[in-house]
Chain A
Amino acid sequence: NAGVTQTPKFRVLKTGQSMTLLCAQDMNHEYMYWYRQDPGMGLRLIHYSVGEGTTAKGEVPDGYNVSRLKKQNFLLGLESAAPSQTSVYFCASRAWAHEQYFGPGTRLTVT
């Protein structure tokens, strides 16, 4: 049982490039989340999903897209990366009415 895993762990992008971050969980959780963490800003919700095939916007969704084609995977896409998207990205998942588990994070730098 690996829990929540994130791929890649580190990435450096140039402004305007695109990329996809992958989150996978093996706990059969319905709910999945993407957060970004910046110094002094805590954890801010980007997008989330309440089940396979569903997505919803969080607090800071602009510049990101997501997809949940399979229950165990939640993808976060950056179509045209900007320096303001330099951050640490965390994925999380939980079952209905249960605690939330976080992945180890992806450190993204956009130059």
Chain B
Amino acid sequence: GENVEQHPSTLSVQEGDSAVIKCTYSDSASNYFPWYKQELGKGPQLIIDIRSNVGEKKDQRIAVTLNKTAKHFSLHITETQPEDSAVYFCAARIGNTPLVFGKGTRLSVIA
């Protein structure tokens, strides 16, 4: 089955700097890649997603890139702010099968 690896497990950045989180997936049939943000004590919230027919997608300060050849996708957060501090999860899905999640990255933005 699908396997998703996520790196790094923790990431600290200075406020205003950029943060990058990377994920690799094993099954080339995966065609949907969402990213979730989880704040302390809350459920994961979808922040951006990308489908396999697109190479990059942006939404204000966040962007996701997908490299199907290398089977990896990345989350980019620019101009980080303290409220970006959270745990971020990547995931991959084949068709309508369940999402397979990475183990998460704890991002700390230092003011």
Contacts and interface: CB of A to CB of B under 8 A. Distances in A.
Given A42-B89, A43-B89, A103 B101 contact: no
A102 B99 CA distance: 12
A61 interface: no
A45 B98 contact: yes
Nearest to B44: A102
B61 interface: no
Interface of A: 4, 31, 33, 40-43, 45, 48, 50, 58, 90, 96-97, 99-105
Given A90-B43, A102-B44, 18 more contacts: A4-B43, A40-B103, A41-B103, A42-B89, A42-B102, A42-B103, A43-B101, A45-B98, A50-B96, A90-B44, A96-B96, A97-B96, A99-B34, A99-B46, A99-B49, A105-B41, A105-B42, A105-B43
A43 B43 CA distance: 11
A101 B46 contact: yes
A104 B98 contact: no
Main DSSP-derived SS at the B contact region: loop
A42 B99 CA distance: 12
B40 to A, nearest CB: 11
21 contacts: A33-B98, A40-B103, A42-B89, A42-B101, A42-B102, A43-B89, A50-B96, A58-B98, A96-B96, A97-B96, A99-B46, A99-B49, A100-B34, A100-B46, A100-B99, A102-B43, A102-B45, A103-B43, A104-B43, A105-B41, A105-B42
Contacts of B46: 99-101
Nearest to A50: B96
Contacts, number: 38
Contacts of B103: 40-42
A40 B10 CA distance: 11
A33 B34 CA distance: 16
B47 to A, nearest CB: 11
A51 B101 CA distance: 22
B88 to A, nearest CB: 11
A104 B42 contact: yes
Nearest to A91: B43
